Structure 1
Amino acid sequence: MKERVLEAYTKLAKDYELHTDSDSGANAYYERPAMLELLPTDMSGLHALDAGCAAGWYTEKFVSRGASVSAIDFSPDMVEAAKRRVGSQAEIQVHDLNEPLPYGANKFDFVLSSLTLHYIEDWDPLFREFQRVLKPGGTLLFSVHHPFMDFTVFKRPDYFVRELLVDRWTKKEAGSVEVTFFRRPLQEIVNMTSSWFVLDQLVEPRPVPEFLERLPESADFYQRILHHPHFLIVKAHRP
């Protein structure tokens, strides 16, 4: 599984660097605006971890809001793209989230993970690590595929099982890319989070109007995610 994820995101790195910020409705005009609403506008003096940073969009947002930022990603190509974006303004390194985090305890005020955790089968060791590196009262904010979306779009027979699914994306730079991820029911997402953290909010985002202004050719997708949840956002804190 790890090798398949690495292969996919090595191929996708250039698309994330060049096109996702403006051409991906699911990211730019759907998930990202909803996530940003849950972050402080002024993060001066705070430490933030971007866990699964991809090409560094959230890393840059943390920096622009005044935070001291660390970022990690499984893909060396994504890490290089993130470094090109923010330079020396953040500490960025390659790291596999299936392994212990390379940070001391009580280091971060915020841990953010955007559309990454569905590539991890077992969340228990990772959430233990997130709890360890967060300060008491620190925030965990993450987004994942919505269970309703995975269950219906992929026409699965049993909602309650955790299972590996395969999708195929077509991108400008990479062409056709096979992407694998884990589907899991909502109760598993909520119960796993609340076993390590205090749950604050569940958000089922809706696309912003700018989506249609920028991407009129994606009107069908806009209408679908306007009425059917595609991603799920979870905000929690370390007790």
Structure 2
Amino acid sequence: MKQNKYDDTNFFSAYEKMPRSIKGLEAAGEWHVLKTLIPVLCNKNVLDLGCGFGWHCRFAREQQASSVVGVDISGKMLQKAREKTDDPFISYLKMPIEDIDFSDSQFDVIISSLAFHYIKSFKPICQKVYDCLKPGGTFVFSVEHPIFTSRNEQDWYFDEQGNRLHWPVDNYQSEGVRETTFLTENVVKYHRTISTYINDLIDAGFSIRVVKEPKPSDEMLKNLPEMINENRRPMFLLISAEKEIASSI
């Protein structure tokens, strides 16, 4: 059974109130770095895995992508995405990411934002993405950083006065289920190491182009001073990989 927490009424109601749900990409702490990894999208066919409210899909069309397909397991997410979208060149499909089955070399660019840490195994996803990506195509994604996902608690260690002392890391090498709390609800995430993310991509045939562990932008620190704590440990891992063009030799 694939996890679909976002169709839970209470969870979705809380998610709708998050800044990134209201303001979109500019309120996403990693967006200022993620957007630099996305290649030129003009006249490209784009796939967004775990598209949520469709922010990245609409961004792709703003960059003059030829067509965009957004995939998400949540009917509530896709309902909101369709309400926000008035574009015949964007289509939304309700299905788990694990079940995608597109034609070989169908897409030029494949994007995913903060979805893969909800999926049990990353390796088969890499292979499916590789197959439906055109030679020379780009796969760009973000996940919660393994330093962030290593413990069930996924929180700071505080002193008796409530001051943040440090971010504890434990059981880093023990990959698998993490039962944690997000938006006051119990959520299942899957922890894997940085090396697993990278090696699963390499094993599928990808070449790694860029790996980033973004910090808050200066503008975000100015508007939200409490974000200074995000400089103390990485919360996000961003990777850009490429399906190389086969040599004719």
Give the corresponding residue for 2:32: 33
Amino acid at match of 2:86: G
Q: How far did 1:7 drift? A: 2.8
SS at match of 2:105: coil
Give the corresponding residue for 2:187: 179
TM-score, normalising length: structure 2: 0.81
Farther-moved stretch of structure 1 (26-35 vs 133-142): 26-35
Q: Distance in 2 between the 1:210 and 1:178 partners?
A: 32
Q: 8 Å contact 2:122–2:197 — kept in the other structure?
A: no
Matched, 1:110 2:109: yes
Query: For residues 44 and 95 of structure 1, do their structure 2 counterparts lie closer, same or farther at Cα, with a shift above 3 Å needed?
Result: same
Give the corresponding residue for 2:97: 97
Could you report, residue by residue, the CA deviation over 1:20-39 in whole angstroms, capped at 9, with x for unpaired residues? Answer: 33778998242112111112
Query: For residues 114 and 122 of structure 1, do their structure 2 counterparts lie closer, same or farther at Cα, with a shift above 3 Å needed?
Result: same
Q: How far did 1:103 drift? A: 2.0
SS at match of 2:82: helix
Could you report, residue by residue, the CA deviation over 1:97-156 in whole angstroms, capped at 9, with x for unpaired residues? Answer: 121x24211111100010001111112221111011100010000111111222364656
Give the number of aligned pairs: 226
Matched, 1:191 2:223: no
Query: For residues 24 and 167 of structure 1, do their structure 2 counterparts lie closer, same or farther at Cα, with a shift above 3 Å needed?
Result: farther
Amino acid at match of 2:243: R
Give the corresponding residue for 2:53: 55
Query: For residues 24 and 191 of structure 1, do their structure 2 counterparts lie closer, same or farther at Cα, with a shift above 3 Å needed?
Result: farther
TM-score, normalising length: structure 1: 0.85
Determine what percentage of the aligned residue pairs are the same residue.
26
Matched, 1:131 2:130: yes
Q: 8 Å contact 1:51–1:112 — kept in the other structure?
A: yes
SS at match of 2:134: strand
Query: For residues 53 and 22 of structure 1, do their structure 2 counterparts lie closer, same or farther at Cα, with a shift above 3 Å needed?
Result: closer
**Structure 2 regions of 5+ residues with no counterpart?**
156-167, 245-249
Farther-moved stretch of structure 1 (181-190 vs 5-14): 5-14
**Structure 1 regions of 5+ residues with no counterpart?**
171-175
Amino acid at match of 2:64: G
Q: 8 Å contact 2:6–2:77 — kept in the other structure?
A: no
Could you report, residue by residue, the CA deviation over 1:79-110 in whole angstroms, capped at 9, with x for unpaired residues? Answer: 111111113340111011121x2421111110
1:146-225 pair list within 5 angstroms? 146-151=145-150, 153=154, 157-170=170-183, 176-196=184-204, 197-216=206-225, 219=226, 222-225=227-230
| C-alpha RMSD over aligned residues | 2.5
Q: Distance in 2 between the 1:45 and 1:24 partners?
A: 27
| Greater RCO, 1 or 2 (C-alpha within 8 Å, sep 6+) | 1
Q: 8 Å contact 1:53–1:72 — kept in the other structure?
A: yes
- Of Structure 1 and Structure 2, the greater helix share is in 1
Could you report, residue by residue, the CA deviation over 1:1-20 in whole angstroms, capped at 9, with x for unpaired residues? Answer: 62xx3134544445555643
SS at match of 2:30: helix
Could you report, residue by residue, the CA deviation over 1:183-210 in whole angstroms, capped at 9, with x for unpaired residues? Answer: 1111111111111211111001011123
